[in-house]
Structure 1
Amino acid sequence: KSCQSVCQITHAHNTVSNFKRFHGRAFNDPFVQKEKEKLSYDLVPMKNGGVGVKVMYMDEEHIFSVEQISAMLLTKLKETAESNLKKPVTDCVISVPSFFTDAERRSLLDAAQIVGLNCLRLMNDMTAVALNYGIYKQDLPAPEEKPRIVVFVDMGHSAFQVSACAFNKSKLKVLGTAFDPFLGGRNFDGKLVDYFCAEIKSKYKLDPKTKVRALLRLYQECEKLKKLMSSNSTDIPLNIECFMNDTDVSGKMNRSQFEELCADLLQRIEMPLLSLMEQTQLKVEDVNAVEIVGGATRIPAVKERIAKFFGKDVSTTLNADEAIARGCALQCAILSPAFKVREFSVTDATPFPISLLWNTEAEDTEGVHEVFSRNHAAPFSKVLTFYRKGPFELEAFYSDPNGVPYPESKIGKYVIQNVAAQKDGEKSKVKVKVRVNTHGIFSVSTASMVEPVKNEECEDVSVETEVEKEVRKIILFFFFLTQTNEKKGDQPPEAKKPKIKVKNVELPIEANLVWQLGKDLLNMYIETEGKMIMQDKLEKERNDAKNAVEEYVYEFRDKLSGPYEKFVCEKDLQGFSALLAETEGWLYEEGEDEAKQVYVEKLENLKKLGTPIEMRFQEAEERPKLLQELGHRLQYYATIAGEFKNKDEKYIHIDEMEMMKVEKCVSEVVEWMNNAVSAQAKKSLDQDPAVHSSEIKAKLQELNNVCEPVVTQPKPKVDSPKEENPLSEQSDYKTEDMGDDKNSEMPQQNGECHPSDQNTINMDLD
């Protein structure tokens, strides 16, 4: 976050932030126009009327859609996850504010598709928090018991959301949600900024709002001040050096002043809470716990307002900053087959009521039906039945436009095609399936026309739905009941009507949605993102090559005046130092922006001089240790050879010819080692060594290969003599098998059998 703050100030016009709320909105949307004034970068209209961001990319001006900007962020998150997991990432769960409309949700799904991520679910923020809370709870009531009611309150950077959830063991149900989409931590920051802007203008005759960088710095300092006031009630100073025109500015504020300044914002907290309780028909006594998350809930006044409303202390057991992300990660693990996670059922709620509008066959009349009420369970599907002679249109819209924080109440139009009258001219029965899916998006998912068929056509067709089967069973039950009651009058039963068998014919649906990227445009964005990812990879490799040269220059320059000083002669030292200084100057001038290969070649030229020095230093470090180890092994094997000559019992079993090989090898290696040490003694440290560590390692390995198998030969095993048992020659029976037979008792003397008794044992044999 600190790195982002620095970038936002140093590259204010080219750092994009706070763009999530532009998804699925037109450029001329009032909300977009209002936000546009607060941004340090430029917003421009796209050809499709959407929101575009103008930035410099690869030293050229580019315009990217908000979907592309989000895709860039997702690409970075994907790379970070893959780097930590050491595995490719394909599946994900993305959080969205509970108040996002269908258009905003579809736009975010397009962003995931641009990156190549398979979004398993768009999860509402508060539902993710609830899952994070409930999945670890071991004391939730059983399914048949009264659920535990928990209210979750989230005030983040730009929005205020609340939800009530019912928990039972291994499941949660969202009872309702409420929100203020325009109340968040940034509003409190804005109050401080406005206050200090007025103070600075009055005190220093400077207007921070005229300079983007100055205003961004003030926002950052005010955010820090807000956090400090959350933990301190005393006056907190605000100091910014070289704020504008090399002028230092200062100010101060305490918590009570801050709360007075934000009184109107604090009053807005109660409205969503009241709305939630009204929707769910809950009383404050019904609420078992209140959990708060989000950075802005750390403001004491915010926390106090929430606690006062519910009449109980709020709980902060969840991580305020990570609760939503953790919930999404858990949901992704549950949905993905790659992980084994405790099962936990999640039933979400539809935030806005949705209705369908259609034209009836009567002139100038329309039919309207609310298919999903507010807080209806989701995901959920419903089947509607229409009777039509031709294609017809359905229009989906939000029933309460004033309650939706989006300027367009329409969701989309759906044309049910290929509908035709029956052969007898009657209207056809058309079944339309509408659905709110796991992403919280409404759709007319399928449509089918029910056609009667002749008996010979009935093979391999679906003749009845489950509902129709149940209805037929009920009709038959009442038919037989009627027949039983009328038997007294001996009335003849009516002839049984033959079954009318039907088949369902799938109908194509043409959807015209309020906001959706065309396939061609989406494919173009996918291709562009792929090119940029590749360009980023090449740029990273170029920067890595440049950084490698820079690191080599700094590292070697320091070591030349330190540990490497003794390993280079004066002439080479001066020449190499001059080359390092020259390379450093080149890096920050004409070599600032060169191709990767140029940096690679530059590094290779430096290493031609640096590697021999580095090698001599490493050799001087390793060589004495290896020679010492070799000397110890020689002494070890020579000692064993000496003990063998002295007829030591430990080695007497070794063949003499084998031991002679050991003596010969030891003698040869001793001679080689003496010559190597002698040759090396004649070399100075700034000369290449006479013997290298690799040679010593090879000689040590050779010595061990020859000597170790000989000196570690185990002694041959000698079998101990066995005592003969004369009984084994006379009978197949053993003495221990004789039991308590008196005739088998053998007189013992000093624990042994008498010699005279061993051959005179009486045995009863059948």
Structure 2
Amino acid sequence: MSVVGFDLGFQSCYVAVARAGGIETIANEYSDRCTPSFVSFGPRNRAIGAAAKSQVVTNCKNTVQGFKRFHGRAFSDPYVQSAKSHLVYDLAPMPSGSTGIKVMYMEEERIFSIEQVTGMLLTKLKETAESALKKPVVDCVISLLATAFDSELGGKDFDDILVNHFCEEFAKKYKLDVKSKPRALIRLYQECEKLKKLMSANSSDLPLNIECFMNDIDVSSKLNRGQFEEMCAGLLAKVEGPLRSVMEQSKLKKEDIHAVEIVGGASRIPAIKERISKFFGKELSTTLNADEAVARGCALQCAILSPAFKVREFCITDIVPYPISLKWNSAAEEGDCEVFPKNHAAPFSKVLTFFRKDPFTLEAYYNNPKDLPYPNTTIGQFLIHNVVPQASGDSAKVKVKVRVNIHGVFSVSSASLVEVIKSSEEEEPMETDQTAKEEVKQAGFHSQPHTIAQASKKSIHSTSTEDAKQEKKNDQPPQAKKPKVKTKTVELPVENKLHWQLSSEELNMFVENEGQMIMQDKLEKERNDAKNNVEEYVYDMRDKLHGVLEKFVNEADRDSFSLKLEDTENWLYEDGEDQQKQVYIDKLAELKSMGQPIHERYLEAEERPKAFEELGKQIQMYMKITEAFKAKDELYDHLDELEVVRVEKQVNDAMVWMNSKMNQQNSQDLTKDPVIKVKEIQAKTKELYSACNPVLSKPKPKVEPPKEEKTENGPVNGQEGSENQPCNPDKAPAGTEQETAENKPPEMDID
């Protein structure tokens, strides 16, 4: 089972995996652990990650970045409208009113939702993880924005300040309207990001130079850290706000904080470090990799949740970041109730009790709009169906279970109708107050609102009154007992209408579209690989024809092949610029039909001496053994003479064959096919080995030591003669069987 953590950042992404040795951050296909959060759309395929970032200047209108902040926002959201003017690519409304991204893909205009583009990036990260793990990724943990912090206090916001500064400077100095040219604006963003990082390490003046920036004009400027901090004073002033919020929500004092660890790329800015350190009154800790810490934390959380890993026990409690309330409006009444206060533990479930005669709707919303970073506070509506009154006409009791799950998502997970049924005197009630409580407990309902608590109190109070009355009735004549009551629980269907939630049809369509785009990317990659193979072969063979292959091809064939290679190169950049995969495969096969024989002659010439040398070594070894046998060497005196004679003949034949082939090959021109090929020499070597080795490597037979004679005249070395004999009862004399059985010593080694 895979255990993976994904940090889906605003500008870059990281992937971490948990293995037996610990948690590690893995690299992508470019051997880089950082994957840019970029997606680029082209006429034939998509590019994602580093490949997309490389197209941000050349294909700026169709390369999207920084789209993470648009999640869950309507196109009419003031934030979206404000950010729209600073983007190079275009935004457009989706049919649902949410924000979409408009690009040209496959030669047509397409609008993709933010969820779709995020899914594309996650698909790329998933491929990176699977490539490293060599197995599919099924379960993972994905990072989200920290809700306690300011979403507009990141590295990109500091870049924006630098870009605006230089846009104003270049407008005055060079009369250039940078924001009117998307490519120039992107180049300026890239240079400002580099300058920001350099200023974190240097306090002196640093230059900014861009050649051919706009209208073939070179621009230059300089900036130092002090000037940068002065420009960013407004942003830096916002640093302490989230810190105070964290302390207030956690109900801790500064004295309770043992250490402060900072992570995130922007935390490297000295002014931010200084303000955080001053707030807590202690030195900051930077033991973690600021860029990779979030991904590694996600992988650790995934390992904690996974049954495949055993992690040291420690508790991580997630919370509900914003207070959630429910309101209802029906013919019976209107109401409002906070079900999950701010910082309530999650995951968590609660049960609410309503008394209704008809179906009703619950609306969930965030009840503190000031803290919410989005203008719309609505979570969704939940319609409880099939609610009917009791048989008596009274309102029925409806139990509604609400839940915030492990992902922090609120929902009405279930609803049930409690039907009251009168029973005869002898029948036992199906549900009592105590059993109802046990059911709630078994169902995992951690707490219940006041409505249920009041109902329980009433039940308890009623029971106590009945007990008191019963004592008084003990002296009275027996009366007819009232029929007991039993209840039946019926599950009710709940219709969810969550705000911005994709319908099943939309989700299936997005999944299908993503599958089609993945297939198109794969086909385009195969087509490009086939084209690159042709181009690579052309360059490789053109160089070798006048290098290592020169003496293996005659002049006429070399000129003809060189001309063919040149024609193919020209074709690649003209008519062959955009062809189908099979066209490139056929073109490569055509070239190889001319170049392969030349290359094979070269390989044969390289490997042939080694093959002859190996055969020669075997022949010499076998000849030495046969000569030793003739010289009566005791190492080989056990060999059969006829077999050795036969081996000697085979060795001599092999020697004659090898010398003959070597002489023929030496007289053969290198531009012609070889007389003898390496495979034939290797086959001859194997044949000689199979014929000679079994005969000449036959081991000498073992000589068994002579058996000692039986002693009849008494003990030898203080032992009885019978003890020196093998213990074989079948060979023992009949008259001594009993004696042998009685006098036989324990089994042991005897010298």
Range into which the TM-score falls when normalised by the shorter chain: 0.7 to 0.9
* Secondary structure in 1 matching 2:109: strand
Q: Distance in 2 between matches of 1:458 and 1:182?
A: 66
Structure 2 residue 257 is the aligned partner of structure 1 residue 287: yes
Residue 248 of structure 1 and its aligned partner are, at CA, apart by 1.6
Q: Among residues 639, 646, 661, which one is paired with 1:654 in the alignment? A: 639
Q: Among residues 416, 436, 455, which one is paired with 1:465 in the alignment? A: 436
Residue 621 of structure 1 and its aligned partner are, at CA, apart by 0.7
Residue 192 of structure 1 and its aligned partner are, at CA, apart by 1.2
Contact 1:728–1:734, Cα closer than 8 Å, also in 2:
no
Q: Distance in 2 between matches of 1:530 and 1:35?
A: 31
* Secondary structure in 2 matching 1:9: coil
Q: Distance in 1 between matches of 2:415 and 2:501?
A: 21
Q: Residue 494 and residue 534 in structure 1: after superposition, are their counterparts in 2 closer, same or farther (change >3 A)?
A: farther
Q: Distance in 2 between matches of 1:531 and 1:693?
A: 48
What corresponds to 2:552 in structure 1? 567
Tell me the TM-score normalized by structure 1. Answer: 0.80
Mapping of residues 44-123 of structure 1, within 5 Å:
44-99=92-147
Contact 1:356–1:368, Cα closer than 8 Å, also in 2:
yes
What corresponds to 1:117 in structure 2? none
Q: Distance in 1 between matches of 2:61 and 2:249?
A: 44
What corresponds to 2:237 in structure 1? 267
Q: Distance in 2 between matches of 1:347 and 1:62?
A: 42
Q: Distance in 1 between matches of 2:222 and 2:353?
A: 67
Where do 5+ consecutive residues of structure 1 fail to align?
100-177, 739-762
What corresponds to 2:531 in structure 1? 546
Q: Among residues 421, 429, 435, which one is paired with 2:403 in the alignment? A: 435
Q: Distance in 2 between matches of 1:459 and 1:670?
A: 106
Q: Residue 240 and residue 485 in structure 1: after superposition, are their counterparts in 2 closer, same or farther (change >3 A)?
A: same
Q: Distance in 2 between matches of 1:486 and 1:462?
A: 25
Q: Distance in 2 between matches of 1:378 and 1:458?
A: 42
Contact 1:727–1:734, Cα closer than 8 Å, also in 2:
no
Q: Among residues 401, 404, 408, which one is paired with 2:372 in the alignment? A: 404
- Deviations 1:713-750, CA, capped at 9 Å, x for gaps: 1111111224446389989x956999xxxxxxxxxxxx
Please identify, of 705-714 and 304-313, the stretch whose mean Cα deviation from structure 2 is larger.
705-714
Residue 202 of structure 1 and its aligned partner are, at CA, apart by 1.9
Q: Distance in 1 between matches of 2:100 and 2:474?
A: 83
- Deviations 1:391-410, CA, capped at 9 Å, x for gaps: 11111010101211111111
Q: Among residues 44, 69, 87, which one is paired with 1:39 in the alignment? A: 87
Structure 2 residue 232 is the aligned partner of structure 1 residue 246: no
Contact 1:416–1:507, Cα closer than 8 Å, also in 2:
yes
Structure 2 residue 700 is the aligned partner of structure 1 residue 712: no
Structure 2 residue 496 is the aligned partner of structure 1 residue 511: yes
Structure 2 residue 58 is the aligned partner of structure 1 residue 10: yes
Q: Residue 287 and residue 725 in structure 1: after superposition, are their counterparts in 2 closer, same or farther (change >3 A)?
A: farther
Q: Distance in 1 between matches of 2:702 and 2:367?
A: 95
Q: Residue 678 and residue 499 in structure 1: after superposition, are their counterparts in 2 closer, same or farther (change >3 A)?
A: farther
- Deviations 1:59-102, CA, capped at 9 Å, x for gaps: 23222222221222122222222222222233332222144xxx
Q: Residue 425 and residue 622 in structure 1: after superposition, are their counterparts in 2 closer, same or farther (change >3 A)?
A: same
Q: Residue 600 and residue 493 in structure 1: after superposition, are their counterparts in 2 closer, same or farther (change >3 A)?
A: farther
Q: Residue 342 and residue 281 in structure 1: after superposition, are their counterparts in 2 closer, same or farther (change >3 A)?
A: closer
Q: Among residues 346, 357, 370, which one is paired with 2:338 in the alignment? A: 370
* Secondary structure in 2 matching 1:429: strand
Residue 55 of structure 1 and its aligned partner are, at CA, apart by 1.6
What corresponds to 1:182 in structure 2? 152
What corresponds to 1:382 in structure 2? 350
Mapping of residues 411-422 of structure 1, within 5 Å:
411-422=379-390
Residue 543 of structure 1 and its aligned partner are, at CA, apart by 0.5
Residue 764 of structure 1 and its aligned partner are, at CA, apart by 11
- Deviations 1:631-656, CA, capped at 9 Å, x for gaps: 01110011111111222111111222
One-letter identity of the residue aligned with 1:589? E
Contact 1:356–1:369, Cα closer than 8 Å, also in 2:
yes
Mapping of residues 314-393 of structure 1, within 5 Å:
314-337=284-307, 341=311, 345-359=315-329, 362=332, 366-393=334-361
Contact 1:356–1:370, Cα closer than 8 Å, also in 2:
yes
Q: Distance in 2 between matches of 1:504 and 1:15?
A: 56
Residue 375 of structure 1 and its aligned partner are, at CA, apart by 0.6
Indicate the percent of aligned positions where both proteins have the same amino acid.
Answer: 59
Structure 2 residue 561 is the aligned partner of structure 1 residue 576: yes
Q: Residue 478 and residue 290 in structure 1: after superposition, are their counterparts in 2 closer, same or farther (change >3 A)?
A: farther
Q: Distance in 1 between matches of 2:470 and 2:258?
A: 57
Structure 2 residue 680 is the aligned partner of structure 1 residue 632: no
Contact 2:429–2:487, Cα closer than 8 Å, also in 1:
no
Q: Residue 359 and residue 467 in structure 1: after superposition, are their counterparts in 2 closer, same or farther (change >3 A)?
A: farther
What corresponds to 1:452 in structure 2? 420
Aligned residues: 658
Residue 486 of structure 1 and its aligned partner are, at CA, apart by 7.6
What corresponds to 2:739 in structure 1? none
Q: Distance in 1 between matches of 2:247 and 2:713?
A: 97
Contact 2:714–2:721, Cα closer than 8 Å, also in 1:
no
Residue 453 of structure 1 and its aligned partner are, at CA, apart by 4.1
Contact 1:351–1:375, Cα closer than 8 Å, also in 2:
yes
What corresponds to 1:688 in structure 2? 673
Q: Distance in 2 between matches of 1:494 and 1:274?
A: 71
Residue 661 of structure 1 and its aligned partner are, at CA, apart by 3.2
Contact 2:427–2:484, Cα closer than 8 Å, also in 1:
no
Q: Residue 764 and residue 45 in structure 1: after superposition, are their counterparts in 2 closer, same or farther (change >3 A)?
A: closer
Q: Distance in 2 between matches of 1:344 and 1:281?
A: 20
What corresponds to 1:21 in structure 2? 69
Q: Residue 181 and residue 568 in structure 1: after superposition, are their counterparts in 2 closer, same or farther (change >3 A)?
A: same
Contact 1:388–1:421, Cα closer than 8 Å, also in 2:
yes
Where do 5+ consecutive residues of structure 2 fail to align?
1-35, 37-49, 442-455, 724-741, 745-751
One-letter identity of the residue aligned with 1:600? I
One-letter identity of the residue aligned with 1:419? V
Q: Distance in 2 between matches of 1:354 and 1:679?
A: 93
* Secondary structure in 2 matching 1:718: coil
Q: Among residues 368, 380, 392, which one is paired with 1:424 in the alignment? A: 392
Q: Residue 275 and residue 462 in structure 1: after superposition, are their counterparts in 2 closer, same or farther (change >3 A)?
A: same
Q: Distance in 1 between matches of 2:380 and 2:109?
A: 35
Q: CA RMSD in A?
A: 3.3
Q: Distance in 2 between matches of 1:679 and 1:45?
A: 80
What corresponds to 2:19 in structure 1? none
Q: Distance in 1 between matches of 2:676 and 2:704?
A: 52
What corresponds to 1:664 in structure 2? 649
One-letter identity of the residue aligned with 2:496? A
Residue 345 of structure 1 and its aligned partner are, at CA, apart by 4.3
Q: Among residues 208, 224, 228, which one is paired with 1:258 in the alignment? A: 228
- Deviations 1:124-177, CA, capped at 9 Å, x for gaps: xxxxxxxxxxxxxxxxxxxxxxxxxxxxxxxxxxxxxxxxxxxxxxxxxxxxxx
Contact 1:462–1:504, Cα closer than 8 Å, also in 2:
no
One-letter identity of the residue aligned with 1:306? I
* Secondary structure in 2 matching 1:291: coil
One-letter identity of the residue aligned with 2:358? G
Structure 2 residue 688 is the aligned partner of structure 1 residue 703: yes
Q: Residue 423 and residue 575 in structure 1: after superposition, are their counterparts in 2 closer, same or farther (change >3 A)?
A: same
Q: Distance in 2 between matches of 1:375 and 1:342?
A: 25
Q: Distance in 2 between matches of 1:574 and 1:54?
A: 52
Contact 1:483–1:493, Cα closer than 8 Å, also in 2:
no
Q: Distance in 1 between matches of 2:427 and 2:208?
A: 83
What corresponds to 1:759 in structure 2? none
